[in-house]
Amino acid sequence: MSKNENMERPKLKVELAPVDKATELIGIIGLLILIALPIYFFDKLPKTIPRHFDANGEPDGFSGKRIIWTLPIIGIVMYVGMFWLNKFPHIFNYPQQVTNENAERLYTIGTRMIRTLNVITTYVFAYITYSTIQTALGNQNGLGNWFTPVFMILIFGTTGYFFYKSISKK
């Protein structure tokens, strides 16, 4: 797609349906959880905590406890960035040409996908943060061997679902 084609697309404000508002609320709750976890547990953490997990969810790297703030900081930046990005659906890539007739439908689907991925990412970060804390405290051992496949299914399943919706004519 050329840059000119992107500029010729209609620029519409996508109205939020109740499901979109609910998704935003769920995301904000997840963001608050992501921030609250290290605040609540920081003083209880040992000096060294897991900083990385292998593909099986086992800790394989350790750092000082301040590393616990990494995912909340990245999560805040990503959440705000994706929230802001959703204001400009005309710049997204779509599997078909955007026209005046299909722009509203495609923009709604595109923004809904970004919003959903934002929520998934936020809760995955919250889970990783929680598991890091619990592993450091000796209450669990890593993320669990199911973490990677479930995460992949969530991300690719969501993307595939919205891709299918955007190519279907319904």
Q: According to the model, what pLDDT value does residue 168 have?
A: 86
What's the predicted TM-score (pTM) here?
0.89
Taken as a whole, the chain contains a residue count of: 170
Confidence of residue 170 (pLDDT cuts 50, 70, 90): low
Strand partners, 63: 49
Both tokens of residue 111?
């923004």
What pLDDT, in 10s, does the model give residues 102-124? 999 999 999 999 999 999 999 99
**138 Cβ partners below 8 Å, 6+ apart?**
none
Annotated domain spans of the chain: 35-167
